[in-house]
Structure 1
Amino acid sequence: MSDQLQKEEEKLSRIETEINDIDGHITNIKTGNLSEESDELAKLLTENTKLKFRLEILKKAIANERKNCKADTIPSEMISIRNYLNELFGSAIKAAYPELSDPPIVITESTKVSFGDYQCNSAMPVSQLLKAKNIKASPRDVAVKILENLPNSFLINKTEIAGPGFINIFITNEYVVSAISTILKNGVFPPTTKKMRVVIDFSSPNVAKQMHVGHLRSTIIGESISRLLEFVGHDVLRLNHIGDWGTQFGMLIAHLEEMFPNYVKESPPIADLQAFYKESKIRFDNDEEFKKRAYDRVVKLQSGESNSRKAWQLICDVSRLEYQKVYKALDVTLEERGESFYQSRMENLVKELNERGFLEEDEGRKIMWGIKGEDYGGIPLTIIKSDGGFTYDTSDMATIRNRIEEEKGEWLVYVTDAGQSTHFKSLFSCARKVGILDSSKVRVDHVPFGVVLGEDGKKFKTRSGETVKLLDLLDEGLKRSLEKLKEKERDKFMTAEELRKAQENIAYGCIKYADLSKNRQNEYVFSFDKMLDDKGNTAVYLLYAYTRIKSIARNCGEEFIKNFDTIKKETKLELTHEKELKLAKVLIQFPDIIEKILKDLHVHYMCEFLYQISTTFTEFYDVCYCIEKNRQGEIVKINKSRILLCEATATVMAKCFDILGLKTLDKI
């Protein structure tokens, strides 16, 4: 904004204030039953008329100044186009209608090329707001006035009003070329955002119990969200809140003592911890004497008795080895922090809640209600059980306190199944009630997900009705992906190492993508046949597409590849064909997709974007020749600009894959 324009807008604001003051004074005189012909009233009315006349002249001058002012220069980095247009049109609407305190700014992507690239659909809601103030203005009139106040911009080539007041926005080719050039020069960078300390809780298996598909979803979704948050520059603490405390350890320790009495000196052979857990659970349910010993071991464990602690550590170590295999296969990084970590914190918290009067008796339990009037499901937290023990509710209260007060978390994220939604509403409400959580300072998100179904439409289980072991599931994925590669005879053109790498990347990638590509709040059907399909919105199709795009530059020959960095610097990017422009305009939406996901943590938007890139690239590649050859198969022409567009496409796709946790391949 120019200095002159800023001064004129300041003057406009002063005049509006004067008019409001005079209007108020006139109202006071009239309500005081003074004659409307009084000298003071006549003087005020005259002054008001002059000011309003000056105001209209000034508004026209500002509108002309806005139209004539030089457009901003094209930024050297990619921007969120939607955010930029929100600010630009927001400024225009406020200038056109200063009487509206919070005017609606509605920017959408256009559905047809003839409608431009984006649309501003604010005219109709603004017209309705004006109508409520007894100001008549049709949506089309509002659209005209918005455009009169719209500053020139590097981004906008032209605007046009369609229908009753829709404003079609056409972005400049210069910005599109600049943004693609930035990708080629610097790679893909996130939009600028305020950096925060984020604590994300995901995966969270229970010690001595096998990880199931619910843990798989939490792990895959949590890892992808963590990668996204780290990409935009947040300080992310990834926590694995494992269940390593409580009654089940009493029965496990008691069973261990009987089965392997020398466990303190010799490590017991309990590799199959799931079977060991089932044995102890049967005894716990059917043997009263054993149950008493189990409860006794819980007390000893929580009091720090050395042998009980030793047994507990052995069990945790064996369990940890199992779920680390899953994390290694899926390339997941987590910092383990089990319930045991919060034992002393739970004790201190319960004491404080008691002293401050937040707990109430309920049939031997001590419970806590959320804030009255808040929608938290109307279910209290159970802080102390009737036997005096703590619960998951207790540990979760201690956990949220630790993450805010000790870890200095500014954004807390919990990735669990949708069945826990009510629990988290109650947890957050109780945390606000006691002053642990200040929602104006700390953002909290529960990221719920639906259950995984088998192809029969029921909960995903083995044929015998058992929960599917994750390691078995991953092994089955490896087997199926290898069969698929051999079916396509890829094994005949790959080394053993290339084949192994392709097998793993496809197997794990297809499992991840099948999950992430669905709206996480919905159920989804687990089907290897659909996951490994090389058509449609699947990981296999997209990984193949990426590999094919990367091969285009290689097909230009060794000399081209050797000089590729120089070619990128010296080649002028030209986007003249409509399919070139269409592809480029899709690619530069990357910052918008990042911003969109950050709002509600729905990662499937990234998958939709990847698929859109791939299908748009196919349209481009079908009609825009990158390499031309003669009948002998010799290269006669290389369209360097289009090769660069291919490279930019691969660069954006690679970053999307990385955020989703998928590994790309140079050869499939």
Structure 2
Amino acid sequence: MEEQIAKESHRLSSIEAEIAQVENSIKNIKEGNFGDESAELSSLLTENSKLKFRLEILNKAIANERKQMSSSSNSPTEVISIIKHLYDIFYNTTKAIFPQFEDPICVISSQTNKSDYQCNSAMPLSSKLKQLNVQMSSLDIAKKLVENLPYSPLIERTEITGPGFISIFLTKDYAKTFISLILNEGVKPPPMKKLRVVVDFSSPNIAKQMHVGHLRSTIIGDSISRLLEFLGHDVLRINHLGDWGTQFGMLIAHLEDIFPNYVNESPPIADLQAFYKESKKRFDEDEEFKKRAYDRVVKLQSGEKNSTKAWQLICDVSRREFQHIYDLLDVKIVERGESFYQSRMESLVKELDEQGLLEEDEGRKIMWGEKTEGEIPLTIVKSGGGFTYDTSDMATIKQRIEEEKADWIIYVTDAGQATHFKSIFACAKRAGILDPSKIRIDHLGFGVVLGEDGKKFKTRSGDTVKLSDLLEEGTRRSLEKLKEKERDKILNEQEIIDATNNVAYGCIKYADLSKSSRNDYVFSFDRMLDDRGNTAVYLLYAYVRICSIARNLGEEFNKQMPKLKKETPIVLDHEKEWKLAKVLIQFPDIIEKILRELNIHYLCDFLYHIATTFTEFYDSCYCIQKNKQGEVVKIDVSRVLLCEATAAIMAQCFDILGIKTLKKV
């Protein structure tokens, strides 16, 4: 590094000399020694600005290198996103060379066949310069970038190929540091500002069964929440239950008729779905019943004791059913139904009215967002004076920003609600509730679940598939698969139960999360439970095998593991060792990418990439040598530790996905 500092100090002196020469010329022109040379003066001022910017970059680079030398380390001491690091240094270098660009183009791509990373900025920069009547080839731009690139502890060397692509090759030192950090401190997230995040997901309706649509929302929302929690954000997981509205009037009226003593004795409602269908049939066919149902809604909203009691009983039955599903899937969520926002909806309507944002429309009160072509206005107040989902969703944004102090709000619902949320966000912005420059807000819309026939996933009778039935079928098939492989003869009773559940629920989650959430996906138990390819079964089995490498070395070796992790230098001399390490250090890059796009399938692709690259490593690099008697005669401790680091990152990925790992298979 001393040699590097010496080179950059020499460049610094040269730039200082150039600045002195340019400033002397500027002084002469200003003093009138050479007449009125305004064009030359403008050119010299621009050149001076460029040189001073380059000088600033170099000074910072040298200061950083000296700081690193004083700590006797050439590598960062925390987990960082490599792409972000490379982007920053190439962006700053580009800005120093081309100050005419306020926000210069900078394109960094991840691993290619010929290099670890690549900067692809030269050609688009050349095109931009031509627009400013500056002729400079992309090859010359690439050379200029490489010449002025400051020192980075991550870059071993750069090469220019083709018309100006800059191939970037990483140093092994950072990878060794990264692996040591994992072994000794666990898998850490890249550093970032901590935010208050509200994630709205799952959101079933009271008195209705959870179905496959709720499955997607629950799985995706839980995984996004887990990722944000891993990153250290303060996450509020909200279950926006449908627990208010007209349907409760008919349910209460029906309850009064079927179980008139419900106030004193808890009604035996075993099948709430059937109870709902019965009340809906009466509501549609019996005018007298319908009238009484509307009356019960009014009483419920006014807080009448018996109606409130009936509503609570019905909600409690649903809650127990929902909680059973959440327990099976290991999902933590805070219930906050529409009823929570009743008083807030009332004050919201008053505020919107006072701001003059509501318009009369055939007895309704509506609100427009941007009034663009095709926009549908929100119905804030119905003609009968009641509120709608629009009112409720506006009140939720207001409550989450003003009371919860959210920095970021994420809604996880089906893609069909995209137009609705676009209108909600636009109206919240217009009302002064939402400032997008201060609050990030996302609607993460997902596609539908399809059957293997390519049509919407239904039962044979055409009904919506109940989530409880789906999970039960998954565990049955999982157990069959384990017995088919005779795992029941190896595992004890508790281990077979754990393996059955972990494989079943893990497969269902992974099949969903491994596809882009924006797209529809085909639900197939046969594909999910396949132990080949990019499936949860393959990855869970791969993880167990990796963990078993160190475990099979015996208790005595594993007692020494903490000491070995601290004292054993990581060696990456074999090409397959280095290839595996380069995959592992991409973990922060993947996390950053998911944060930008909110698409968790990148993590699944990464997990599969780890597993397949590890297989290449294990097939080529011995970790343990045994004699003919099966006795261990030699251990490559560095490679065993590389296996441990691989397992640690895989375990963290599984945890973010909400998938429980196995100890044995």
TM range (shorter): over 0.9
Letter in 1 for 2:613: T
- Structure 2 SS opposite 1:238: strand
Residue by residue, what CA displacement relative to the aligned partner does 1:23-56 show, whole Å, maximum 9, x if unpaired? 9x99xxxxxxxxxxx9884466776787788789
Letter in 2 for 1:160: E
- Worse-superposed segment, 99-108 or 356-365: 356-365
Which residue number in structure 1 is paired with residue 71 of structure 2?
none
Match of 1:544 among 541, 544, 549: 541
Q: Within 1, Cα distance between the matches of 2:474 and 2:177? A: 42
- Structure 2 SS opposite 1:93: helix
CA shift, 1:557, in A, is 2.5
Which residue number in structure 2 is paired with residue 34 of structure 1?
none
Which residue number in structure 2 is paired with residue 407 of structure 1?
404
Letter in 1 for 2:532: K
Q: Within 1, Cα distance between the matches of 2:347 and 2:646? A: 54
Letter in 2 for 1:522: N
Cα 1:508–1:128 shift into 2, 3 Å: same
Cα 1:499–1:141 shift into 2, 3 Å: same
CA shift, 1:110, in A, is 3.0
Letter in 2 for 1:210: Q
Letter in 2 for 1:256: L
Query: Does the aligned pair in 2 maintain the 1:69–1:151 contact within 8 Å?
Result: no
Cα 1:50–1:404 shift into 2, 3 Å: closer
Matched, 1:110 2:111: yes
- Worse-superposed segment, 95-104 or 603-612: 95-104
Match of 1:439 among 430, 436, 440: 436
Cα 1:307–1:666 shift into 2, 3 Å: same
- For 1:23-38, what aligned pairs fall within 5 Å after superposition? none
- Structure 2 SS opposite 1:421: helix
- Structure 2 SS opposite 1:617: helix
Q: Within 1, Cα distance between the matches of 2:313 and 2:53? A: 77
Which residue number in structure 1 is paired with residue 166 of structure 2?
167
Residue by residue, what CA displacement relative to the aligned partner does 1:367-399 show, whole Å, maximum 9, x if unpaired? 1111245x8x51111111122111000000011
Which residue number in structure 2 is paired with residue 33 of structure 1?
none
Q: Within 1, Cα distance between the matches of 2:43 and 2:102? A: 24
Q: Within 2, Cα distance between the matches of 1:378 and 1:15? A: 61
Which residue number in structure 2 is paired with residue 251 of structure 1?
250
Which residue number in structure 2 is paired with residue 424 of structure 1?
421
Q: Within 2, Cα distance between the matches of 1:381 and 1:20? A: 62
Query: Does the aligned pair in 1 maintain the 2:180–2:566 contact within 8 Å?
Result: no
Q: Within 1, Cα distance between the matches of 2:9 and 2:399? A: 50
Matched, 1:218 2:217: yes
Cα 1:622–1:380 shift into 2, 3 Å: same
Query: Does the aligned pair in 1 maintain the 2:243–2:315 contact within 8 Å?
Result: yes
Letter in 1 for 2:152: S
Which residue number in structure 2 is paired with residue 519 of structure 1?
516
Residue by residue, what CA displacement relative to the aligned partner does 1:189-234 show, whole Å, maximum 9, x if unpaired? 1111111111110000000001111100000000000000111111
Letter in 2 for 1:656: C
Which residue number in structure 2 is paired with residue 640 of structure 1?
637
- For 1:229-248, what aligned pairs fall within 5 Å after superposition? 229-248=228-247
Which residue number in structure 2 is paired with residue 484 of structure 1?
481
Which residue number in structure 1 is paired with residue 649 of structure 2?
652
Which residue number in structure 2 is paired with residue 586 of structure 1?
583
Which residue number in structure 1 is paired with residue 356 of structure 2?
357
Matched, 1:576 2:573: yes
Query: Does the aligned pair in 1 maintain the 2:19–2:51 contact within 8 Å?
Result: no
CA shift, 1:152, in A, is 1.4
Letter in 2 for 1:259: I
Which residue number in structure 2 is paired with residue 336 of structure 1?
335
Matched, 1:123 2:137: no
CA shift, 1:64, in A, is 8.6
Matched, 1:509 2:510: no
Consecutive unaligned residues in structure 2, runs of 5 or more? 69-73
Query: Does the aligned pair in 2 maintain the 1:8–1:58 contact within 8 Å?
Result: no
What TM-score do you get using the length of structure 1 for normalisation? 0.93
Cα 1:619–1:134 shift into 2, 3 Å: same
Q: Within 2, Cα distance between the matches of 1:22 and 1:222? A: 67
Which residue number in structure 2 is paired with residue 182 of structure 1?
181
Residue by residue, what CA displacement relative to the aligned partner does 1:533-563 show, whole Å, maximum 9, x if unpaired? 0001100000000000000112222321222
CA shift, 1:244, in A, is 0.3
Which residue number in structure 1 is paired with residue 377 of structure 2?
380
Matched, 1:599 2:596: yes
Which residue number in structure 1 is paired with residue 291 of structure 2?
292
Cα 1:519–1:39 shift into 2, 3 Å: same
Letter in 1 for 2:99: P
Consecutive unaligned residues in structure 1, runs of 5 or more? 27-37
Cα 1:470–1:48 shift into 2, 3 Å: closer
Which residue number in structure 2 is paired with residue 346 of structure 1?
345
Query: Does the aligned pair in 2 maintain the 1:66–1:150 contact within 8 Å?
Result: no
Query: Does the aligned pair in 2 maintain the 1:15–1:51 contact within 8 Å?
Result: no
- Structure 1 SS opposite 2:614: helix
Which residue number in structure 1 is paired with residue 303 of structure 2?
304
Letter in 2 for 1:355: E
Give structure 1 regions of 4+ aligned residues with deviation exceeding 3 angstroms: 1-23, 38-73
Letter in 2 for 1:599: R
State the Cα RMSD in Å. Answer: 2.8
Letter in 1 for 2:129: L
Q: Within 2, Cα distance between the matches of 1:21 and 1:39? A: 9
Which residue number in structure 2 is paired with residue 500 of structure 1?
497
- For 1:125-204, what aligned pairs fall within 5 Å after superposition? 125-204=124-203
Q: Within 1, Cα distance between the matches of 2:27 and 2:428? A: 46
Q: Within 2, Cα distance between the matches of 1:16 and 1:403? A: 56
Q: Within 2, Cα distance between the matches of 1:308 and 1:510? A: 43
CA shift, 1:86, in A, is 0.6
- Worse-superposed segment, 459-468 or 412-421: 459-468
Cα 1:404–1:563 shift into 2, 3 Å: same
Q: Within 2, Cα distance between the matches of 1:613 and 1:444? A: 32
Query: Does the aligned pair in 2 maintain the 1:244–1:316 contact within 8 Å?
Result: yes
Q: Within 2, Cα distance between the matches of 1:69 and 1:141? A: 28
Q: Within 1, Cα distance between the matches of 2:465 and 2:366? A: 36
Q: Within 2, Cα distance between the matches of 1:397 and 1:451? A: 26
Query: Does the aligned pair in 1 maintain the 2:201–2:238 contact within 8 Å?
Result: yes
Q: Within 2, Cα distance between the matches of 1:587 and 1:99? A: 38
- Give percent identity, aligned residues only: 65
Cα 1:451–1:17 shift into 2, 3 Å: farther
Q: Within 2, Cα distance between the matches of 1:625 and 1:205? A: 52
Query: Does the aligned pair in 2 maintain the 1:251–1:280 contact within 8 Å?
Result: yes
Which residue number in structure 2 is paired with residue 76 of structure 1?
77
CA shift, 1:70, in A, is 7.5
Query: Does the aligned pair in 2 maintain the 1:5–1:66 contact within 8 Å?
Result: no
Match of 1:472 among 469, 472, 477: 469
- For 1:33-112, what aligned pairs fall within 5 Å after superposition? 41-42=35-36, 71=65, 72=68, 73-112=74-113
Q: Within 1, Cα distance between the matches of 2:267 and 2:283? A: 21
Matched, 1:624 2:596: no
CA shift, 1:424, in A, is 0.3
Matched, 1:457 2:454: yes
CA shift, 1:179, in A, is 1.0
- Structure 2 SS opposite 1:651: helix
Letter in 1 for 2:578: L
Letter in 1 for 2:271: D
